[in-house]
Amino acid sequence: AEPHVPDFPGMQQFAGRVLHTCEYKCGEEFAGEKVLVVGCGNSGMEVSLDLCRHGAKPSMVVRNTVVHVLPKEMLGVSTFGIAMALLKWLPVQLVDRFILAAARLTLGNTSRLGLRRPKTGPIELKNLTGRTPVLDVGTLDHIKSGKIKGGRSSEGGDEGRGQARGRQGGAAVRRNNTGDGLQEQRAVLAQGWRGCLHKRRHAQNPFP
Ligand SMILES: NC(=O)C1=CN([C@@H]2O[C@H](COP(=O)(O)OP(=O)(O)OC[C@H]3O[C@@H](n4cnc5c(N)ncnc54)[C@H](OP(=O)(O)O)[C@@H]3O)[C@@H](O)[C@H]2O)C=CC1
Ligand SMILES: O=C(O)C(=O)Cc1c[nH]c2ccccc12
ipTM score of complex: 0.93
Q: Which residues of 79-105 are buried (b: 16+ CB within 10 A; e: fewer)?
A: bbebbeebeeeeebeebbeebbebbee
Ligand 2 centroid, distance to 80 Cα (angstroms): 5
Of 19, 20, 40, 43, the one to substitute when testing ligand 1's pocket (max ligand atoms within 8 A of C-beta) is: 43
Reference 42, options 157, 145, 132; nearest CA is 132
CA-CA-CA-CA dihedral for 204, 120, 71, 147, to nearest 10: 80
Amino acid 172: pLDDT:
38
**Quick check: 11 pLDDT over 50?**
yes
Q: Note the pLDDT of residue 113.
A: 93
**Range with the largest mean pLDDT of 2-6, 98-102, 162-166:** 98-102
Task: Average the pLDDT over 96-103 and give the result.
Answer: 98
Return the pLDDT at 29: 96
Q: What are phi and psi of 187, to 5 degrees?
A: -130, 140
Query: What residue's CA is closest to ligand 1, atom 1?
Result: 42
45 lines ligand 2 (CB under 6 A): no
Pocket test for ligand 2, best of 123, 124, 193 (most atoms within 8 A of CB): 123
**Ligand 1 contacts CB of residue 118 (under 6 A):** no
For position 185, what pLDDT does the model report? 87
Q: pLDDT at residue 183 above 60?
A: yes
Cβ of 6 less than 6 Å from ligand 1: yes
Please choose from 70, 80, 98, 201 the residue to mutate so as to test ligand 2's pocket, defined by most ligand atoms within 8 A of CB: 80
**Distance from residue 89's CA to the centre of ligand 1 (Å):** 31
What is the CB-side half-sphere exposure of residue 21 using CA atoms within 13 A?
A: 22
Say how many C-beta atoms besides its own lie within 10 A of residue 33's C-beta: 17
Any ligand 2 atom below 6 A from CB of 83: yes
CA atoms of 42 and 166, how far apart (whole Å)? 19
Does the Cβ of 99 fall within 6 Å of ligand 1?
Answer: no
Domains of the chain: 2-67+135-194 (3.50.50.60), 69-132 (no CATH)
| Confidence (pLDDT) at 16 | 86
Alpha-carbon gap, residue 119 to 102, rounded angstroms: 17
Q: Which amino acid, 149?
A: K
**Distance of CA 63 from the midpoint of ligand 2 (Å):** 21
pTM score of the predicted model: 0.85
